[in-house]
Structure 1
Amino acid sequence: MNCKPSFAIIGAGKVGSAIGVLLKERGYAPVGVYSRSKTSARRLADQLHSKLYKNAVDAAKAADLVFITTTDREIGTTAAIIARKGGCKPGQIVIHTSGALASDVMEPVREQGAWAVSVHPLQSFASIESAKENLPGSSFALEGDEQALPLAEKMVKDLQGRYFIIKAADKPLYHAAAVIASNYLVSLMHLSASIYRQLGLDEEQARDALFPLIQGTLNNIAKVGPAQALTGPVARGDASTVKGHISALSRMNWRTQEVYRSLGLYTVGLALENGSITTNEGAALSNIFLEVENCEQKGNYCRLSAHETGSQTNSHVNRLRLSDGYVGRCFWYRRHPGWGFPR
């Protein structure tokens, strides 16, 4: 006897399709599929051996669990249509899988007595097949009605995942961190490969050269954590090498140069955190990354917090507050052509 709830998928994209297939394998009962794309909806309905519906409302009516796995911009509208046309009922659980949006976007279903919860898999999905492979073992961020959380937790465990619960107000910050870790890692890989292509390597050669380095770095992070896994010129306080990099990168576009400088500044803070460089070395490196020309500067002032530099925040009249908690002397910044910072 199957004691697990029935479910419907509304939005047969990569995430919705992967979740649907995996839940069916775990004993959940698929009862319906709807998607704007008839092709993807038919494909998923055939995989699940479930009914293909012509609208989201009828698909939702048939299920205990309703997954709205559309694009983020369509989640609120879809939930409102389902609620307005009688597609949800008391005790039913409506789930979206957006990382950026809280469950509040589905408020209309709550007004009809259903419970709303967001279940976001902290994973990247390049295809339906990769989504099915990557979901088991992934972490899920849960947020929503307390009545719905126990079942959401059980569902994640059935998917062989782990979970943590966050507040609705924290969803944007949570998602920003995920974007940095995943999307921006892809951008960094693309940037590194593009530099190697300047040296004559083709895309495949660049990727093959860089991937073992990336994999080794990930292995180190897994073993000792990001702070202790840091290596390279910043971790050694090697200002000369950093200057050489900046000089070489000056031949490339300003975006590449800005990425290198911004990440370098952040890495200075990481090197200070793990104790691999001194405060003076951190200050010197920060000034290099900031391209700072000091006016009558006798000390090492930079974009470091007061406790990192050891200076007093109000000890000199000629201080410039750079951001909350950060102070320094007056600096001249070398601007980009056209007298302005890049947009």
Structure 2
Amino acid sequence: MNRAGRLGVGIIGAGRVGPVMGAALAGAGHALTGITAGADDERVEAILPGLPVVDALEVVRRSELVIIAVPHDELPGLVAGLAEVGAWQPGQLVLHTDAAYGTAVLAPAAARGAIPLAVHPAIAFTGTSMDLRQLSHAYAAVTAPPAVLPIAQAIAVELGCEPIVIAEDDRAAYAEGIAIATEFSRSIVEQAASLLRGAGVPHPGSYLSALVHSTVDQALGAAGSAGAGPVAGLFEVDHDDDDTSDAGEDYE
């Protein structure tokens, strides 16, 4: 970290999550060093204009904070592979965004002196600048060794989120809860929209919007969450779309 407390931030993973987190941290004053190539370079360029596209080794070499936002099954091999070639640097911050993993998956990097952090913002990423507004209404699950937990919390705050500490042993249960909330909600809305479309409703997504949002708000209130912290406004949507949107996988 430099004297002003700002970091050189590199991103491994150019899907929906990594570029948005990079943009959020750039907005907090950090300097972006590079990002790996992705399947949609135009989208990445739109949110991170002019950012150099380099390989993973170069991202690690350039950066004080490395954000790893790759699919769940790729994360362990990526971290271990970079460790095998001696990429990780002592004192370097290494942060992954996977809901299911704590910091144990970063052990190969930690063994070489890197500082492991797990930060999962609890939003459904679109990979666009709209996510920056969503982050400001969101929580983020943070897991880190006790001595560096404040660093993980500070990064979550700079993303715009309110940090919630999740213990290493609780990450699997946390991930299951997140999966249930996202997959079940998406499936139910899609089924309902399909039925309404068949019944002659021309724009079922718009038709369902107020009903779904008010129902979810009531459910959150019953769970003791509505109106607390950044939850208010979390379910605001852009009504320009006629139908429900499918965010797909965050990392693709």
Deviation at 1:3, TM superposition (A): 2.2
Matched with 1:164 is 164
Matched with 1:81 is 81
User: 1:93-149 deviations in whole A, cap 9, x for unaligned?
Assistant: 111001122221222101111121110011111332332231122100011223332
CA contact (8 A) 2:14 2:35 kept: yes
Q: Map 1:159-238 onto structure 2 (within 5 A).
A: 159-198=159-198, 200-202=199-201, 204=203, 206-221=204-219, 224-226=221-223
Change (3 A) 1:214 1:105: same
CA contact (8 A) 2:34 2:53 kept: yes
User: 1:184-221 deviations in whole A, cap 9, x for unaligned?
Assistant: 111111122233344x22462x3333222112223434
CA contact (8 A) 2:98 2:119 kept: yes
In 2, Cα distance between equivalents of 1:40 and 1:73: 26
CA contact (8 A) 2:9 2:33 kept: yes
In 2, Cα distance between equivalents of 1:203 and 1:107: 52
Q: Map 1:231-246 onto structure 2 (within 5 A).
A: none
Change (3 A) 1:142 1:42: closer
Give 3-state SS (helix, strand or coil) of 1:133's partner: helix
Give the partner amino acid of 2:113.
Answer: G
CA contact (8 A) 1:61 1:87 kept: yes
Query: Which protein is bigger by CA-based radius of gyration?
Result: 1
Deviation at 1:40, TM superposition (A): 6.0
Give 3-state SS (helix, strand or coil) of 1:32's partner: strand
Matched with 1:102 is 102
User: 1:16-45 deviations in whole A, cap 9, x for unaligned?
Assistant: 00011111111011112223548369727x
CA contact (8 A) 1:30 1:48 kept: no
In 1, Cα distance between equivalents of 2:38 and 2:160: 30
Matched residue count = 223
User: 1:72-96 deviations in whole A, cap 9, x for unaligned?
Assistant: 1111121112212222111111110
User: 1:239-283 deviations in whole A, cap 9, x for unaligned?
Assistant: xxxxxxxxxxxxxxxxxxxxxxxxxxxxxxxxxxxxxxxxxxxxx
Give the partner amino acid of 2:48.
Answer: Q
Q: Map 1:47-66 onto structure 2 (within 5 A).
A: 47=48, 49-53=50-54, 55-66=55-66
Give 3-state SS (helix, strand or coil) of 2:14's partner: coil
In 2, Cα distance between equivalents of 1:186 and 1:42: 25
Q: Which has the higher contact order (CA 8 A, sep 6+)?
A: 2
CA contact (8 A) 1:8 1:31 kept: yes
Q: TM-score, normalised by structure 1?
A: 0.59
Q: Map 1:1-343 onto structure 2 (within 5 A).
A: 2-37=4-39, 39=41, 43=45, 47=48, 49-53=50-54, 55-198=55-198, 200-202=199-201, 204=203, 206-221=204-219, 224-226=221-223
User: 1:293-325 deviations in whole A, cap 9, x for unaligned?
Assistant: xxxxxxxxxxxxxxxxxxxxxxxxxxxxxxxxx
Deviates more, 1:125-134 or 1:165-174: 125-134
Change (3 A) 1:117 1:193: same
Deviation at 1:66, TM superposition (A): 0.6
Give the partner amino acid of 2:175.
Answer: H
Give the partner amino acid of 2:115.
Answer: W
Matched with 2:236 is none
Q: Unaligned stretches of 5+ in structure 1?
A: 230-343
Q: CA RMSD in A?
A: 2.5
CA contact (8 A) 2:137 2:161 kept: yes
Matched with 1:278 is none
In 2, Cα distance between equivalents of 1:12 and 1:189: 28
User: 1:1-21 deviations in whole A, cap 9, x for unaligned?
Assistant: 732121100111111000111
Give 3-state SS (helix, strand or coil) of 1:51's partner: coil
Q: Unaligned stretches of 5+ in structure 2?
A: 227-252
In 1, Cα distance between equivalents of 2:50 and 2:194: 45
Q: TM-score, normalised by structure 2?
A: 0.79
User: 1:134-178 deviations in whole A, cap 9, x for unaligned?
Assistant: 112210001122333211111111222101111222112111111
Matched with 2:238 is none
